C-alpha cells in the first residue's frame, strides 16, 4: 500500500478526538477508550492481542459486528486470515507497520483499518476499525494512530497486564470453555492463565435461574468477586456464573475437594447462595486443556442437586453416579435399567397401601446401613427389619446377592431422578395420553 501523506495541521476532528480520548482514559481506562473510539469513528472496533484473541470490542459483543462477522469466531479472529491480510498489504521490511486501510483481497467484504499496538518495542496487539461501506481518508488513519497511542499509554500506566487482568483472563477462560476454539489459541489461553494462577485448579458453576435479572447484575457481581479473589477467574457464560479457582490444595488423605476443606470454595458457595443460586463444584485438576470436562462436571452437579433436592452442597464426586443416570434419562433409556421386581413391588404397594418400594430404595441408597435408613424413613430399626424380611419373602429379593443388590441400587438411583420409571411401561404411556 503506498505511503499516506498526513496533513501538517491537525484537523478539528483530531483535536476533539484527542480531548475525548484523554477524558476517557481518566474516566474508565481501556473500556472507556474503546467506547469513545467507537463514537469517534461511528463504526465497530476490535482490539486483539498478538495471537488475534479479542481483548475488547465496541460494541462489546463481537457477534454484533456485521463487518467482521465472518472473521469473528468464538471470540478469536482467524489467525491465518489476518496474517494473509498483513502479507498482502505490508512490505515486511519493518518489524512494525503503520495503520493502513484495506478493502481488497480477502477483506473485500469487510473493509477495515488495521493498526498495530506497540509497547516497549514489542507487539502487544492489533486494533481493527471496521469502516464497512464508509469511505476512508488520511485523517482516519491518523485517528487510528491516536487511538492506538492512548491504548499503549493506558497499558503503560496500568503496569501492562494488570489492567487487562479481569477482561483478559476472563477472555482466556472463555476461549477454553468454547468447543470451537482453535488449538493454538487454546494452548496460548492455558499458558496465559497458568502464568497468572498456578495449578491445581477447580471449577465452580452457579446456573442463573432468573436469566434476565441475573444477567443484568452479572457484571457487577463478577467485578466484586474479581476484586476480592486474585487466585480465581470469573465469567458469566451461557446463563451461569463460572469460576476457575487456582492453587487448590490437594491432600492424599482428603482427596475430594469440598467447601468444608477449602476456604475460598466455602466463601464462594456462601456468596452465590446469598444470591439465591445453587453452585456445583468439579473435581480438582491440573491440565487446563481439559477444563471443559470439569466445567460440565460442575454444571451437571448444580443442576442435578437442584432437581433431586440434594441436601448437601453439590460436589461432583458426592453426586456420582447420578450424572451417568441423567444421561440415560435424556436418551429415554431409563426403563431398560429398572429391575423387574420394582414393578411388582409398586403394584403391591398400590393394592395394599404398603411402603415396600420406598423402604427398599432408601435402604439401598443408604448402602444397606440400617441405622441411617431407619432414620431417613422416620421408623424404628425393628420396623425396617420387618419390612425388609417381608420384601424378601413376598418378592424373592436375594438380599445377600451382591449383583442383585447392585442392580436394585441402580434402579433406586434412577427412580430418585424419575419416579415414573417404577410404573410399568404400558401404564406410563397410558397416563401420558
Are 122 and 203 contained in the same domain? no
**pLDDT value of residue 211:** 56
One digit per residue, the tens of pLDDT, for the chain of length 433 reads: 344 443 445 578 888 899 999 998 888 788 899 999 999 998 889 888 777 777 788 887 766 677 666 666 556 666 677 777 777 777 767 778 889 988 877 677 778 899 999 887 888 889 999 888 788 888 999 999 999 999 988 877 765 444 444 457 888 898 899 887 878 778 888 988 998 888 899 999 999 866 555 566 787 888 788 878 878 999 998 889 999 999 888 777 777 888 888 889 999 999 999 988 999 999 999 999 999 999 999 999 999 888 888 888 999 998 888 888 887 887 788 888 899 999 999 999 999 999 999 999 999 999 899 999 999 999 999 999 999 999 999 999 988 899 999 999 999 988 988 899 889 876 554 444 4
Q: Of the candidates 274, 293, 320, which is a domain's last residue?
A: 320
Question: How distant is the alpha carbon of residue 383 from its chain centre?
Answer: 48
Contact between 301 and 316 (Cβ < 8 Å): yes
DSSP string, 405-432: HHHHHHHHHHHHH-GGGGS-HHHHHHHH
So what's the pLDDT on residue 163? 40
CA distance 167 to 339: 52
- pLDDT (0 to 100) of residue 9: 53
Domain boundary among 102, 132, 158: 158
Whether 98 is in a domain gets the answer yes
Q: How far apart are CA 413 and CA 206, in angstroms?
A: 24
- Give the Cα separation of 302 and 278 in Å (integer): 6
Determine contact, residues 200/285, Cβ cutoff 8 Å: yes
Do 54 and 189 lie in one domain? The reply is: no
Cβ count near 382 (within 10 Å) = 10
Q: Indicate if 290 and 173 belong to the same structural domain.
A: yes
Question: How many structural domains compose the chain?
Answer: 3
Among candidate residues 269, 289, 320, the one where a domain is terminated:
320
Query: What domain range includes position 86?
Result: 12-158
* C-alpha torsion sign, points 191, 192, 193, 195: positive
Are residues 170 and 150 part of one domain? no
Task: Mark 35-71 as b/e (b = at least 16 C-beta within 10 Å).
Answer: bbbbebbebbbbbbbebbbbbbbbeeebeebebbeeb
Please check whether residues 255 and 400 belong to one and the same domain.
no
Domain membership of residue 1 (yes or no) is: no
Q: Are residues 200 and 305 in the same domain?
A: yes
Specify whether 140 is located in the same domain as 172: no
CATH of the domain at 140: 3.30.450.40
Same domain, 231 and 274: yes
Cβ neighbours for 420, distance < 8 A, ≥ 6 positions apart: 428, 431
pLDDT reported for residue 34: 92
> Are residues 149 and 187 both part of a single domain?
no
* Residue 340 falls inside a structural domain: yes
In a domain, 6, yes or no: no
- My answer on whether 286 and 427 are in the same domain is no
The reported pLDDT for the residue numbered 164 is 45
Domain check: are 212 and 293 in the same one? yes
Grid coordinates belonging to 183: 488449538
For residue 3, is it within any domain? no
Residue 337 forms part of a structural domain: yes
In a domain, 385, yes or no: yes
Provide the whole-model pTM: 0.60
Quick check: is 206 in a domain? yes
- Is residue 183 located within the same domain as residue 140? no
Amino acid at each position: 500500500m503506498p505511503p499516506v501523506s498526513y496533513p501538517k495541521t491537525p484537523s478539528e476532528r483530531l483535536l476533539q478526538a484527542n480531548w475525548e480520548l484523554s477524558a476517557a482514559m481518566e474516566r474508565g481506562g481501556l473500556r472507556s477508550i474503546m467506547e469513545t473510539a467507537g463514537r469517534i469513528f461511528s463504526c465497530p472496533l476490535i482490539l486483539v492481542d498478538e495471537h488475534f484473541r479479542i481483548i475488547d470490542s465496541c460494541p462489546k459483543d463481537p457477534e454484533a459486528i456485521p463487518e467482521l462477522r465472518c472473521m469473528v469466531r468464538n471470540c478469536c479472529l482467524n489467525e491465518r486470515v489476518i496474517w494473509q491480510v498483513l502479507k498482502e498489504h505490508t512490505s515486511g521490511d519493518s518489524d512494525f507497520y503503520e495503520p493502513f486501510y484495506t478493502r481488497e483481497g480477502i477483506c473485500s467484504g469487510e473493509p477495515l483499518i488495521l493498526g498495530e499496538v506497540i509497547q516497549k518495542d514489542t507487539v502487544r496487539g492489533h486494533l481493527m476499525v471496521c469502516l464497512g461501506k464508509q469511505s476512508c481518508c488520511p485523517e482516519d488513519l491518523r485517528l487510528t494512530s491516536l487511538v492506538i497511542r492512548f491504548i499503549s499509554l493506558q497499558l503503560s500506566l496500568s503496569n501492562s497486564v494488570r489492567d487487562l487482568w479481569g477482561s483478559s483472563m476472563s477472555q482466556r477462560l472463555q476461549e477454553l470453555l468454547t468447543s470451537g476454539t482453535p488449538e493454538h489459541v487454546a494452548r496460548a489461553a492455558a499458558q496465559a492463565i497458568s502464568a497468572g494462577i498456578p495449578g491445581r485448579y477447580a471449577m465452580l458453576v452457579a446456573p442463573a435461574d432468573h436469566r434476565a435479572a441475573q444477567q443484568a447484575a452479572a457484571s457487577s457481581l463478577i467485578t466484586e468477586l474479581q476484586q476480592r479473589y486474585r487466585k480465581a477467574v470469573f465469567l458469566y457464560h451461557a446463563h451461569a456464573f463460572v469460576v476457575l479457582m487456582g492453587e487448590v490444595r490437594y491432600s492424599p488423605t482428603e482427596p475430594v475437594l469440598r467447601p468444608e476443606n477449602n476456604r475460598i470454595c466455602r466463601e464462594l458457595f456462601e456468596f452465590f447462595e446469598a444470591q439465591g443460586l445453587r453452585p456445583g463444584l468439579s473435581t480438582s485438576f491440573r491440565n487446563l486443556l481439559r477444563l471443559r470436562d470439569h466445567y460440565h462436571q460442575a454444571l451437571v452437579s448444580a443442576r442435578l442437586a437442584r432437581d433431586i433436592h440434594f441436601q448437601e452442597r453439590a460436589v461432583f464426586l458426592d453426586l456420582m453416579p447420578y450424572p451417568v443416570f441423567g444421561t440415560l434419562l435424556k436418551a429415554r433409556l431409563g426403563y431398560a435399567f429398572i429391575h423387574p421386581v420394582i414393578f411388582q413391588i409398586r403394584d403391591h404397594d398400590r393394592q395394599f397401601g404398603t411402603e415396600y418400594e420406598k423402604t427398599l430404595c432408601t435402604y439401598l441408597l443408604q448402602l444397606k446401613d440400617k441405622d441411617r435408613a431407619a432414620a431417613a424413613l422416620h421408623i424404628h430399626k425393628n420396623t425396617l427389619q420387618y419390612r425388609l424380611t417381608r420384601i424378601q419373602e413376598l418378592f424373592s429379593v436375594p438380599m445377600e446377592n451382591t449383583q442383585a443388590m447392585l442392580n436394585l441400587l441402580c434402579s433406586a438411583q434412577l427412580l430418585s431422578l424419575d419416579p415414573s420409571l417404577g410404573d410399568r411401561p404400558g401404564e406410563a404411556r397410558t397416563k401420558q395420553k
